[in-house]
Structure 1
Amino acid sequence: MRLLSGVRIENFRSIRKVDLLDLDEYSPIIGLNSSGKSNILRALNLFFNDQLDEEQTSISLGRDYPDFLRRTGKRKFVSVGVSFDLSGGFRPRGTDDFFTKYELEDTFVVQRTWTLDILTGGTQETVQFGKSWEVLVEAPSGDDRTAAFAFIRAIQFRYVPNHIRPADFIEKEIQPLRESMLTNLRRTTEFKTGGVAETMDALNRVAANMLKQTSQAVAAGAQGRGVSADVPADFAQLAFQIALQTVTSHGLQSTGLQGSGTQSFTLLHVLDLLDRTGRSRGFGWKKASIWAVEEPESFLHAGLRSRFATDLHAYACSQSRQVFATAHQDEFVRVANNAWLTSLVDDQTRINRASARDALIQSTKQRVTTFQHPLMEASDKPLVLVEGKLDAAHLRNAIRGAGMRPLWRMVALEEVDTLVKAGGDALLNYLKVNQLVLASRPPEGPILVLRDWEDAPKVEGLKQAVAAHEYSTVTACSEELCNPELGTTFRGIERFLSTDTVRAVIPTSALGRPAESEFPLSVTKSSLDGAKNKLLEHDVKSGTSSPYMRNLAGWLDQQVAAMLDGVPVDSFLF
């Protein structure tokens, strides 16, 4: 569920005005140090929690109003607005009448503004709301204002700064679990009818069950280290505070004694646990969670960074949660669809939205993230390299339609290097120039270059271009799998489309057929080239894929498996 579709911040620290619109469930924010990344998270913390940081600092126009505006003579104010996405069913408790009164459907905007109170020298707040940014009206006191704030209070906003000790954060935040543990304990037979010893055993069992999912998630990434609850062992300790212990091969240890990376990884999964138990305690008032995580890569080695980024993205895409994360590392951008790039121009924060791939290219040039050669993408698994973006899009649509779960990555040449044009010659030249990079891929990460069906005679010549990697190879789409109703003039991957799709997009006047029969259909090169984007759009929008295209995707999966058969088994053993 996407909770927020947009954020608008004005006159806050380094920010004059920024808009983050069309937000995803997971939004990485990358940029150089002091470019304003953390100010975005702090502004959101102010909006939801009325505080700026973990010290519960309140807003101060003397401190938080931008320095570059102080001598302009303009009215001093700080404003933070949020557009709530209602299309996924987000509806705070007790707002049914409010929804009806204002005919709310897809979007609801709330904007909070803090201005200088001339009489007291402090701040005074106004609240505006509306169906869009263009029609905001001031929320009067009474039921409407209460309903507007219900949207804010229905979300548990968790701000995790980068300079905290994760174990201290866990110790502080985990105490509310005590109430949930006791509630579950009261439901047990041992508590109702057993003695003291049986009740204490039941408490430990309840704690273990509550932490089971979290412990498994931590163990999957932190070298087998899980977590368990440190709860009382006897009745005299029953007035207790909860602590977490780390399960190691040598027994239980305090989480505070673990390395900072293990603590950070544990904290990630504890946040999920807090969300799950928090909503059950919220009696329906808390509907969702937003995490604002600063530089989660701190103290993580490369493998744990990758696992942390994957798990963080998975949590963001789970029900009733959204994540914002500032980062300097590629792993936290690669898992996203889009990213936000910050920069500082004349002491003011600028922010732009870009696809994850474009964001990484730009951030590498700015020395924000580290450079990784495009051919080293997903180096620990097979990589299928196709000629054009349309080829990749058709195959991905077919893989999705077939419900496949391939254990390989697929990219188009244009996707791995935006400066290279699509086409067979460009592909050949690219591979020739990058022989050393290709050779540096590990044995278990070979590349399969996929050519169009009509290029089968050129495959042998192209194999020399991938020979630098012993197990990489080249193949052409199997012509036997093409739609038999489409003739050889349908060059490229479009020959694997369904006849219905072709007829729905290409005018009948542009389709030829033999005099003596209805099939195979033919088409001119200009007609086919002009229709390629629409042919893809037709199948993607309709949620369908051609059976011939699905067969091609399955065949491709078999080709990758055959390629891996040549790789020594020892290459896959750690």
Structure 2
Amino acid sequence: MPVRITRIEITNFRSIQKVVIDSSRLQIIVGNNDAGKSNILRALNLFFNDETNPGEQFNFNTDYNIYAASKDSKKAREIKIKLLLEIPRTYHATNGDLIEWTRSWRSSGFFDEKIIGIKSIVGARGGRSTQRNDIPKRSNIKALLQNVRYVYIPAIKDKEYISKLRSEIYFVVNDVFNENFSDSSKAFEKSIAENLDGLTQEISDSLGFSSALSLPRDLSSLFGNLDFLNEMRISLNERGDGIKARHIPLILKYIAEKTKTLQAQGNPPYTFIWGYEEPENNLELTSAIKLALQFKNFVPEPVSQLLITTHSPAFYNLSKHDDDVKCVYIEKDNSDITSCESDYSQLDDKMGVMELLSPYIEEVKSRIENFEAVSELGDDKAVIYVEGSSDKIIIEKAINIFIPDRAGFIDVITKDFGAGTNYVCDMLKAYFHMHKHHPEKYKCAGIVDRDADGDKARAELSKIQDVGKSVKCFPLPLAQDIIDAKKDGYLIPGVLECNYPSHLWENELANEKLEKRELIADVLSPIKNNELLQLARTVSDDLEGRPYRIKIENYVPKSRKVPLANIISHMSNDEARGCLLFLERTMTDLEKFLFPE
């Protein structure tokens, strides 16, 4: 894993007197205008690139904190930036577990740099302490740190910035494809010379000395004018600012990926850290949400770390449901002291009116994720969505048993965690909307439990006009003993495990894998409950001799769902057929729907 900044400490830089931020690989920084968010990214730009804004050299007089400058102090005026870095494990033995890297500037310019190794020490009694050590001379930590590439993307991404970015494509292309690129340049140069031969010959004849056209050795200015045309041959320069902005992270990603291919075996890896200021600028809400999801996919590869300043919940909402994304709120008090707050529950309130958009953005984000998830499906195989991992295992086994000719032409899809009826319903909706524009793709089906949630999901889907032309939601069929139990007034849940034959349940009970149902009354219908009360008869007495008794008194815990499904999956098809006979009709119906030909 490449280098990562785990803590940023900035002293006396621009509007910041002192701030300390613990940072994650995807770090969101929010706050009101003029709170100092952008100066955190600029401080990192100064630290790594010796400039503040892109192309703007450090100036101590304007970059030193005004509030600190007005204080009477005997200490020398100094800007200090200290980073705590997580480094690859292969560097720990020589350098320590973490690196503390400090750089400072005074009015005369760059002043000092210190690199310290921090090692975690385990005491004799198990306690931990830290030990600070100078970096040994034999260490290659400096080579590792020199390969850190910090890229600062300012809030205003104008034509000049995009042109400069396109110029940088030249340098990476020239390095990565050196020989091929050189040959192409020579061929281009030769073509120009041949077409302008008359001009060069006349110049040579008139002036008395040989003259030949040649491309400049540095073609970065040419690349700065590269254009991206859409299908209508419209120049990127003529398109909206939002479209231009969406190109920026993709160009940067390309540069990062190609640069990393230059790493020679045994050399320190390249690390790319982006400081991205207000990525929501010029983007409509849907594009901002798409970009936020895209950023998540960029980290940790090819971008080791991404720090974002933003006012938009399209970005800071990422931190609410993902432990790998952190968010801090930056604000100043009356004494001009900068502070950080990481209480997510207060983010919407502190960001003001945007809290009204936050729930809506979560819904739109979910839809976009679903659309992107289904967009690449259906070309080669039909699709079945199911509620969880155990369902996927069993349905795949049932396909092999009951419709084996289709086994290679169906994808059974779910999520490892957090799937369920709503997940299946949402994915079917997304697939339906995608299929309207791509009717040549295969159809899609879903299978949901035979319960209240499943009934609700199927009813919701049925309200969508023409939905049955491309997607269909099937209820999980019931085994005969569950049907008999319902007729007798016992409402055994219509979930997958309850349909397994009783002998599997008996094996689970013998191995103490089942859980006792605490309230058997929960599975009694009102009619059955009244019947037992009138007859003064206990449930235990009523269940005597009934084949489904074990399913009334016990249930399969979540921890046993996948192992139990795997037991069936590993059976021979002939043996498993008896366990999954309840699925035979549904498999036939699925085949007819998914493969109408």
Bucket of the pairwise TM-score, normalised by the shorter protein:
0.5 to 0.7
2:331 to 341, 344, 369: 344
Cα separation, partners in 2 of 1:159 and 1:340, compared to 1, 3 Å: same
- The one-letter code matched in structure 2 to 1:332 is F
Distance 2:368 2:260 in 1: 39
Shift of 1:344: 0.9
Are positions 1:273 and 2:273 aligned together? no
Give the 5 Å matches for 1:474-493.
480=479
Q: Please give the per-residue CA displacement for 1:164-196, whole angstroms capped at 9, x wherever unaligned.
A: 42423324433414633772337759969x993
Shift of 1:509: 9.9
Distance 2:352 2:448 in 1: 32
Distance 2:356 2:164 in 1: 28
Could you tell me which runs of 5 or more consecutive residues in structure 1 were left unpaired when the two chains were aligned.
92-97, 202-233, 384-391, 417-440, 566-574
1:236 to 200, 214, 223: 214
Distance 2:412 2:104 in 1: 50
Residue 215 (structure 1) aligns with: none
Shift of 1:112: 0.8
- The one-letter code matched in structure 1 to 2:228 is T
SS at match of 1:246: coil
Give the 5 Å matches for 1:170-569.
170-177=165-172, 179-180=174-175, 183-185=178-180, 196-197=190-191, 236-237=214-215, 239=217, 241=219, 242-243=222-223, 244-249=226-231, 251=233, 253=235, 255-281=236-262, 283=264, 284-285=267-268, 287-319=270-302, 321-333=304-316, 337=322, 338-346=325-333, 347-353=336-342, 367=354, 370-373=357-360, 378-379=366-367, 395=388, 444=433, 455-456=451-452, 480=479, 495=497, 535=559, 546-547=565-566
Q: Please give the per-residue CA displacement for 1:411-439, whole angstroms capped at 9, x wherever unaligned.
A: 789x99xxxxxxxxxxxxxxxxxxxxxxx
Residue 569 (structure 1) aligns with: none
SS at match of 1:143: coil
Q: Please give the per-residue CA displacement for 1:456-492, whole angstroms capped at 9, x wherever unaligned.
A: 4x87689889998777999976655999xxxx99969
- The one-letter code matched in structure 1 to 2:146 is R
Distance 2:237 2:305 in 1: 28
SS at match of 1:245: coil
Contact between 1:10 and 1:80, CA under 8 Å: does it hold in 2?
yes
Cα separation, partners in 2 of 1:112 and 1:136, compared to 1, 3 Å: farther
Contact between 1:289 and 1:320, CA under 8 Å: does it hold in 2?
yes
Residue 49 (structure 1) aligns with: 49
Cα separation, partners in 2 of 1:305 and 1:377, compared to 1, 3 Å: closer
Cα separation, partners in 2 of 1:48 and 1:359, compared to 1, 3 Å: farther
Distance 2:185 2:110 in 1: 56
SS at match of 2:35: coil
Cα separation, partners in 2 of 1:257 and 1:148, compared to 1, 3 Å: same
Cα separation, partners in 2 of 1:296 and 1:509, compared to 1, 3 Å: closer
Distance 1:36 1:342 in 2: 11
Could you tell me which runs of 5 or more consecutive residues in structure 2 were left unpaired when the two chains were aligned.
122-128, 196-211, 372-384, 397-409, 424-429, 435-444, 483-489, 518-539, 570-578
Contact between 2:100 and 2:118, CA under 8 Å: does it hold in 1?
yes
Residue 118 (structure 2) aligns with: 130
Cα separation, partners in 2 of 1:51 and 1:167, compared to 1, 3 Å: closer
SS at match of 2:175: helix
Give the 5 Å matches for 1:80-119.
80-86=82-88, 99-102=92-95, 104=96, 107-114=97-104
Shift of 1:81: 1.3
Distance 1:138 1:115 in 2: 23
Contact between 2:119 and 2:131, CA under 8 Å: does it hold in 1?
yes
Residue 167 (structure 1) aligns with: 162
**Length, aligned pairs only:** 455
Distance 1:290 1:149 in 2: 17
Shift of 1:45: 2.5
Q: Please give the per-residue CA displacement for 1:131-154, whole angstroms capped at 9, x wherever unaligned.
A: 3697363636x726x744333212
Cα separation, partners in 2 of 1:199 and 1:328, compared to 1, 3 Å: farther
Contact between 1:110 and 1:130, CA under 8 Å: does it hold in 2?
yes
Percent identical:
13
- What root-mean-square deviation, in Å, do the aligned CA atoms of Structure 1 and Structure 2 show? 6.2
Cα separation, partners in 2 of 1:198 and 1:481, compared to 1, 3 Å: farther
Distance 1:169 1:302 in 2: 27
Contact between 1:155 and 1:288, CA under 8 Å: does it hold in 2?
yes
- The one-letter code matched in structure 2 to 1:44 is L
Distance 1:481 1:324 in 2: 58
- The one-letter code matched in structure 2 to 1:108 is L
Shift of 1:259: 3.0
Contact between 2:3 and 2:304, CA under 8 Å: does it hold in 1?
yes
Distance 1:64 1:482 in 2: 79
- The one-letter code matched in structure 1 to 2:327 is W
Give the TM-score, by structure 2 length.
0.55
SS at match of 1:176: helix
- The one-letter code matched in structure 1 to 2:277 is E
SS at match of 2:47: helix
SS at match of 2:227: strand
Structure with greater helix percent: 2
Give the TM-score, by structure 1 length.
0.57
Cα separation, partners in 2 of 1:54 and 1:377, compared to 1, 3 Å: closer
- The one-letter code matched in structure 1 to 2:179 is N
Shift of 1:115: 6.8
SS at match of 1:170: helix
SS at match of 1:174: helix
Distance 2:368 2:480 in 1: 30
Distance 1:481 1:180 in 2: 69
Residue 17 (structure 1) aligns with: 19
Contact between 1:46 and 1:59, CA under 8 Å: does it hold in 2?
no
- The one-letter code matched in structure 2 to 1:158 is V
Distance 1:364 1:411 in 2: 29
Residue 158 (structure 1) aligns with: 151
Cα separation, partners in 2 of 1:186 and 1:318, compared to 1, 3 Å: closer
Q: Please give the per-residue CA displacement for 1:259-281, whole angstroms capped at 9, x wherever unaligned.
A: 32232222222212322333345
Residue 532 (structure 2) aligns with: none
